[in-house]
């Protein structure tokens, strides 16, 4: 099919993220009137260009809405003990409302231990084991701990386009900790009331599972794993997976998603990649920090 036959409407994450940032700017101003300035800290180890780019983007986002930025940049050779001292300092720092440790960390660092050292109340990513446990345990009442940014971004992107999750059968592709594992506990909360199937490399017939889905959340990091023939007409499709494809002629690489472009001819709504869930993840990180500051004032 040609582009002229495309049926899917776009779930525009860039536009939705801009709306969220505008709302957060007002909330940050209200906090400032109380003498409170939320602060997001980042911990960056080493000089990986990709990680540096991601961290710089987070600080630009903070500046947009009035959140203060704290940077902790450490050499690749930092020891486990030295890094844990930095984590302890941020846990105790009143100017730091929430923070993230940019991954991946060097191989000589025990990443799980570092992440568990983060104060759960300052866990801006919403992925601390304590906060994930609170999410799993609480299906009915308001959650007052940070929530995982990317799953929140997926949920808000759909809702801000006037669509409801209630009663939808959602098939998630990929069981990673940032999306696949936590999105089920979120979407099956009573406030959303979706039914969730989690698929992975042990799933015998992925196509059959996808064809049953009202909503597909593709987060496997495998180019084109969601094909048009495996999408129910009218389904909502969110392309969250990220991998890189190298052009054999130029040697240049580009970001590609999990959803084959032909899916746009079958789905009713589709999020682009890039430009879909990615901007939402960054916006929801800011929202977590603002909510942390608001809760501290309550």
Told to judge if 58 belongs to the known catalytic residues of this protein, a careful annotator would answer: yes
Q: How far apart are the first and last CA of the chain?
A: 55
Closest by CA to 155, choosing from 281, 268, 264, is 281
Residue 207 assigned to a binding site: no
Active-site hit among 61, 125, 239, 260: 125
The DSSP-derived string for 9-62 is: EE--HHHHHHHHHHHHHHHHHHHHHTT---EEEEEEES--HHHHHHHHHHHHHH
Per the DSSP assignment, residues forming a β-bridge with 41 are 70, 99
Sign, Cα dihedral of 201, 179, 57, 15: positive
CB 13 within 8 A of CB 276: yes
Q: Is 125 a catalytic residue?
A: yes
CA-closest candidate to residue 25, choices 229, 287, 296, 293 = 287
Crossing angle for the helix pair 49-65 and 277-297, nearest 10 degrees? 50
Q: Pick the catalytic residue: 102, 123, 168, 239?
A: 102
Residue 176, annotated ligand binder?
A: yes
Rounded Cα distance, 273 and 277, in Å: 8
Element (H or E) spanning 277, and its range? helix 277-297
Whether 247 is a known active-site residue: answer no
Is residue 175 a known part of a binding site? yes
| Binding-site residues | 174-176, 242
Positions marked catalytic:
58, 102, 125
| Binding-site residues for NADP(+) | 174-176, 242
């Amino acid at each position: 099919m040609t582009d002229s036959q495309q049926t899917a409407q776009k779930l525009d994450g860039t536009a939705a993220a801009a709306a969220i940032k505008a709302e957060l700017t007002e909330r940050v101003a209200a906090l400032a009137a109380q003498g409170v300035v939320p602060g997001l800290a980042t911990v960056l180890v080493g000089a990986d260009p990709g990680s540096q780019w991601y961290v710089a983007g987070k600080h630009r986002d903070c500046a947009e809405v009035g959140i203060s930025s704290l940077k902790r940049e450490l050499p690749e050779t930092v020891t486990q003990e030295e890094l844990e001292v930095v984590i302890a300092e941020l846990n105790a720092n009143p100017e730091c409302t929430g923070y993230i440790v940019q991954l991946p960390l060097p191989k000589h660092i025990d990443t799980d231990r570092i992440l568990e050292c983060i104060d759960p109340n300052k866990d801006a990513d919403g992925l601390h084991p304590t906060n994930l446990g609170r999410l799993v345990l609480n299906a009915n009442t308001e959650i007052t701990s940070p929530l995982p940014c990317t799953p929140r971004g997926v949920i808000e992107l759909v809702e801000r386009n006037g669509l409801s999750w209630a009663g939808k059968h959602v098939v998630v592709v990929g069981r990673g900790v940032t999306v696949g594992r936590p999105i089920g506990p979120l979407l099956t909360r009573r406030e959303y009331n979706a039914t969730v199937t989690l698929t992975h490399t042990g799933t015998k017939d992925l196509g059959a599972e996808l064809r049953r889905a009202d909503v597909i959340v593709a987060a496997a990091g495998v180019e084109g794993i969601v094909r048009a023939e495996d999408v129910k007409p009218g389904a909502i499709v969110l392309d969250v997976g990220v991998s890189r494809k190298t052009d054999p002629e130029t040697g240049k690489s580009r970001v590609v998603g999990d959803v084959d472009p032909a899916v746009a001819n079958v789905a009713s709504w589709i999020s682009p990649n890039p430009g879909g869930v990615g901007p939402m993840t960054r916006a929801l990180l800011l929202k977590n920090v603002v909510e942390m500051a608001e809760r501290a004032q309550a």
